Amino acid sequence: MKIFKFGGASVKDADSVKNVSMVLQSQGFAKCLLVISAMGKTTNELEKVVELYFKKDNYQTEIEKIKRKHMEIAEGLFPENHAVFAEIDLFFDDIDSFLRRNKSPNYSFVYDQVVSCGEMISTKIVSEYLNEIQFTNQWLDARDYVKTDNSYREGIVDWGKTEEFISNLNKEICYVTQGFIGSDENNFTVTLGREGSDYSAAIFAYCLNADAMTIWKDVPGVMTGDPRKFKDVSLLSNISYEEAIEMAYYGASVIHPKTLQPLQQKNIPFYVKSFVDPTKEGTKVGASEKNQSEESYILKENQTLLKISTRDFSFIAEDHMSLVFGHLSKYKIKVSLMQNSAISLALCLEDKYNTVDELNEDLQKVFKTEIVKNVSLFTVRNAKMENIDKFYQEKSVLLEQISKNTLQMVTQ
């Protein structure tokens, strides 16, 4: 089987959905599974619904706006009496009904039940449209197949159960399913982390022993830098799994960090291609003699720099490190860069859930801390060390680290 993943930008309106069918026509629509994200900015809009709900504000108006947008997309794809309109109605009724009945104060739990509806609705629209134009497919509820624990918003996949369920699918037909979501043992929806649809595609690829997996983006493939942030970047046509994993870890937005290891385990080739021009070769990630190691640039913005030292000027020892990392885990804060000396520890942090102030408050009970928000982590992979001076120009560097052929600096 082939696995194709289409992100929000590739299904943002009726014309984009029609373009998906053109991409599939160019690739051959047979024995494939499509993983589809929520349409356009729907995830952000549903996040706002959850926010308003917890503020006890008027979230119903926001739900109505999102519903209207999906109805308009459907109107551009289907005749007016098509059954899909009733399906869309039902999904939005479910959101409203859940929020009216809900008694849970757990923000992450409520978030997952509401925000996941974006994927449910988008896949229903795409699946019905493809069937309408004779691209026969079966719609799947990913929650019946991808099983997780109950770590809401950051679900940990139960690979044993997931592989058992997915491997039973008929590999001779085509499916359309959701990215980003699974379910726990009580069948409550659990999301796999923001931008987790790539990871979903890799889960299905691994469990189906797919021939290949392709992610369709609005860029030509994996570039040596984000063209919106860096000049003179070029396409990387072939890179190794290891290089792609490093780039994703350092923050290359074109690949989700968790995506690559399941594919590498079974040596499944992974392609990043453009849905604007599907005939172009894009980037192939996998084992190849053609693999490149070009100088590449990654900018990870909206980071927080936290410097920690002991109050009595003693060394930062193992028990201190254990305490710090326990708190990081508690507040679901990820470390993008770490540097420690005998008496201090510097951490560049990704604060996805806006909990860094609470972390800092806890740490100040034991340590002295210094915090700088809204910094950026700039990484150069495969850096030409003889020319690194140019990267320091016009930058206020708060922290730097050089290891092998990688230069990293935290800048303000």
Kind of pairing, strands 283-285 and 270-274? antiparallel
Q: What is the pLDDT of residue 190?
A: 98
State mean pLDDT over 89-95: 96
Q: How far apart are CA 193 and CA 317, in angstroms?
A: 32
Cβ atoms of 240 and 291 within 8 Å: the answer is yes
Query: For the segment 259-318, what is each residue's pLDDT rounded down to a tens digit?
Result: 999 999 999 999 999 999 999 999 999 988 888 889 999 999 999 999 999 988 789 889
Whether the per-residue pLDDT at 253 is higher than 80: the answer is no
Structure tokens of 103? 């008694």
Quote the pLDDT of residue 313: 76
Structure token pair of residue 1: 């089987």
Q: Which two tokens stand for residue 118?
A: 């974006």
CB proximity list for 96: less than 8 A, separation 6 or greater: 60, 63
Q: Which of 50-59, 300-309, 403-412 bottoms out in mean pLDDT, i.e. has the lowest?
A: 403-412
Of the pLDDT bands very low, low, confident and very high (cuts 50, 70, 90), residue 403 is: confident
Q: What is the pLDDT of residue 335?
A: 95
pLDDT digits (tens, 9 = 90+) for 230-252: 988 999 999 999 999 888 888 88
pLDDT of residue 252: 84
Q: Say what the pLDDT of residue 255 is.
A: 82
Q: In whole angstroms, what is the distance from residue 360 CA to residue 386 CA? A: 39
Segment among 77-86, 109-118, 285-294 with least mean pLDDT: 285-294
Q: Are the beta carbons of 366 and 324 closer than 8 angstroms?
A: no
Averaged pLDDT for residues 22-31: 92
The pLDDT of 160-171, averaged and rounded, is: 97
Question: Is the predicted pLDDT of residue 195 greater than 90, yes or no?
Answer: no
Mean pLDDT of the chain: 94
Contact in structure between 49 and 189 (CB atoms under 8 Å): no
Over residues 98-107, the mean pLDDT reads 97
Task: Compute how many other C-beta atoms are within 10 angstroms of the C-beta atom of residue 342.
Answer: 9
Judge whether residue 163 has pLDDT over 90: yes
How sure is the predictor about 60, in pLDDT bands with cuts at 50, 70 and 90? very high
* Closest by Cα among 213, 214, 45 to 121: 45
Lowest mean pLDDT among 90-99, 101-110, 280-289, 354-363: 280-289
pLDDT given for residue 228 in this prediction: 86
Asked if pLDDT for residue 37 goes beyond 80, the answer is yes
Of residues 291 and 63, more confidence is placed in: 63
Does the CA dihedral 219-16-131-35 come out positive or negative? positive
List CB contacts of 344: < 8 A, sequence separation 6 or more. 307, 308, 309, 316
Strand 296-310 relative to strand 344-350, pairing = antiparallel
- What pLDDT, on a 0 to 100 scale, did the predictor assign at position 257? 79
Q: How confident is the model at residue 348 (pLDDT cuts 50, 70, 90)?
A: very high
| Residue 66: predicted pLDDT | 98
Residue 250: per-residue pLDDT: 87
The share of the chain scoring above pLDDT 90, in percent, equals 83
Per-residue 3-state assignment (H helix, E strand, C coil) for the chain: CEEEEECHHHHCCHHHHHHHHHHHHHHCCCCEEEEECCCCCHHHHHHHHHHHHHCCCCHHHHHHHHHHHHHHHHHCCCCCCCCHHHHHHHHHHHHHHHHHHCCCCCHHHHHHHHHCHHHHHHHHHHHHHHHHCCCCCEECCHHHCCEECCCCCCCCECHHHHHHHHCCCCCCCCEEEECCEEECCCCCEEECCCCCHHHHHHHHHHHCCCCEEEEEECCCCCECCCCCCCCCCCECCEECHHHHHHHHHHCCCCCCCCCHHHHHHCCCCEEEEECCCCCCCCEEECCCCCCCCCCEEEEEEEEEEEEEEECCCCCCCHHHHHHHHHHHHHCCCEEEEEEECCCEEEEEEECCCCCHHHHHHHHCCCEEEEEEEEEEEEEEECCCHHHHHHHHCCCCEEEEEEECCEEEEEEC
The pLDDT of residue 158? 98
> Going edge to edge, which strands form the sheet with 397-403?
334-340, 344-350, 296-310, 367-381, 406-411, 397-403
CA–CA gap between residue 351 and residue 366 (Å, rounded): 21
- Largest pairwise CA distance in the chain: 74
- Cβ neighbours around 278 below 10 Å, total: 17
In this prediction, residue 176 has a pLDDT band, given cuts at 50, 70 and 90, of very high
Beta bridge partners of 303: 350, 375
Characterize the bridge pairing of strands 212-217 and 334-340.
Answer: unpaired
Confidence band for 321, pLDDT divided at 50, 70 and 90: very high
d(CA 21, CA 129): 9
| Pairing state between β 32-36 and 367-381 | unpaired
Which of residues 393 and 111 earns the better pLDDT score? 111
pTM for the model? 0.91
